[in-house]
Structure 1
Amino acid sequence: MKQTVEVEIAGQRLSIKSDEGPQYVQQLADYVDEQLRQLVPGGRGSFDLRRVALLVAIQLADELFREKDLHRQFRARVGAKLDALEVTLREHERRLEDL
């Protein structure tokens, strides 16, 4: 069931409806807010929030793509090891049958 969670990002209050719990949504909001703060340390000077938000979106997309690539590489390594284990198992089964 969707819940409405109130969060604040870059000084902007947002109401977010989510199937996830409030703590999870708050973690996401805190993470995005931290990314914004890193691009505009201390909020000094004037900045275009939309422009900074787009830069954060690019950074988050980069993180996502890198994690997906690592996941793909991991799955490939695990798959290769599983294939090797299956070959070894078949060899051992054949040897046992020959006994």
Structure 2
Amino acid sequence: MEKEPDVTRVKVEICGENYYIKGSASEEYIKQLAKYVDQKMKLLLKLNPRLSRINLAVLTALNIADEYFKLKAEYEEFLELFDEEKSR
């Protein structure tokens, strides 16, 4: 029988709301993620104070997805350059 992965349960606050997050990552990592999302949401709310909670969450997700896609493209470009240098 396989051992089930350890599950961490962490209470975090994001944009004034408390959430209990379960995951296989460490408590510190989960808190770091929650803090990042909280900062992004608060920044967007400061720029657009009339946003509903749903719109705020969607815009935050889109902003984080944009960051991810840009970093992914940079990483893939780096790997291509690295492979080119390696093959010389």
Task: Please report the TM-score for the alignment, with normalisation by the length of structure 1.
Answer: 0.78
* Aligned mate of 1:2, from 7, 27, 37: 7
With a CA cutoff of 8 Å and minimum separation of 6, indicate the structure with the bigger relative contact order: 2
Paired residues in the alignment total 83
In structure 2, how many angstroms separate the alpha carbons of the residues matched to 1:28 and 1:45?
Answer: 23
Q: Which has the larger radius of gyration?
A: 1
* Aligned mate of 1:19, from 18, 24, 30: 24
Task: Please report the TM-score for the alignment, with normalisation by the length of structure 2.
Answer: 0.87
Letter of the 1:41 partner, please give it: K
Q: What residue ranges of structure 1 are gaps of 5+ in the alignment?
A: 85-99
* Aligned mate of 1:83, from 79, 82, 87: 87
What do residues 17-37 of structure 1 show as CA deviations (whole Å, max 9, x unaligned)? 111111110110010000011
Q: Which runs of 4+ in 1 moved over 6 A?
A: none
Between the two proteins, what is the percent identity of the paired residues? Answer: 29
